A and B are shown apart, each in its own frame.
Chain A
Amino acid sequence: KQEVTQIPAALSVPEGENLVLNCSFTDSAIYNLQWFRQDPGKGLTSLLLIQSSQREQTSGRLNASLDKSSGRSTLYIAASQPGDSATYLCAPGKDPNSGYSTLTFGKGTMLLVSP
């Protein structure tokens, strides 16, 4: 059974800092990995999807890396802004050929960026 751990559980930084969120997973037989953002009282928004064959994926100030063999992914946020304050969840996806492809979610990292 896939287990996903996200460290740290919470992070508070001043505006402008670069930061790294960590995700580890126990079963390296993944098809892809997604990073989501969740604002309080809202649903999740997909930020980045990395295929298992990729090493990293970039979108604006966000960069996600994947080391499938070691079961690790990181989300790098450059020049953080108060609007980045949210909970970030990591979700490796199971190979659809081995059944259904659904995501296993970590508990998330709650990020607060202060002005």
Chain B
Amino acid sequence: NAGVTQTPKFRILKIGQSMTLQCAQDMNHNYMYWYRQDPGMGLKLIYYSVGAGITDKGEVPNGYNVSRSTTEDFPLRLELAAPSQTSVYFCASSYSQEGYGYTFGSGTRLTVV
């Protein structure tokens, strides 16, 4: 099993550009999450999804959008990139709402210049 796959691994964006971070899981998990991790900080929840077609905001959703058209895919869209969005982005999934089977991708390191 591949688990949770994130692409790209690295990206440099110019201020004002847009991009989509891809996330796919092959474990048939209903619950998927996007977190960001700033240097020396804990992870902050951006958006989450409890199943295909259902998404909701987390702690830090401003500047981001998500969609969940299939169980497997949960892309994160950055519109009008800003330097404050420089971070490492992690996608994760779990098979229960209680958080069992939490599995993380290897992350996307994004720099906005």
A19 to chain B, nearest CB (A): 21
A78 within 8 A of B: no
Contact-residue bracket for chain A:
20 to 34
A111 within 8 A of B: no
Are B107 and A100 in contact (CB-based, < 8 A)? no
Residues of B within 8 A of A89 (CB): 42-43
B74 within 8 A of A: no
Cα of A8 to Cα of B45 in the assembled complex, Å: 24
Are B48 and A100 in contact (CB-based, < 8 A)? yes
Are A42 and B106 in contact (CB-based, < 8 A)? yes
Residues of A within 8 A of B41 (CB): 107
Task: Give the residue among A45, A100, A104 with the most B Cβ atoms within 10 A.
Answer: A100
Are B42 and A43 in contact (CB-based, < 8 A)? no
Cα of A8 to Cα of B44 in the assembled complex, Å: 21
Are A4 and B90 in contact (CB-based, < 8 A)? no
One of A31, A36, A41, A104 near B98 (C-beta < 8 A): A31
Q: A4-B42, A43-B4, A44-B90 are in contact. Are A100 and B56 (CB under 8 A)?
A: yes
Residues of B within 8 A of A49 (CB): 99-100
Cα of A100 to Cα of B59 in the assembled complex, Å: 12
B40 within 8 A of A: yes
Are A96 and B106 in contact (CB-based, < 8 A)? no
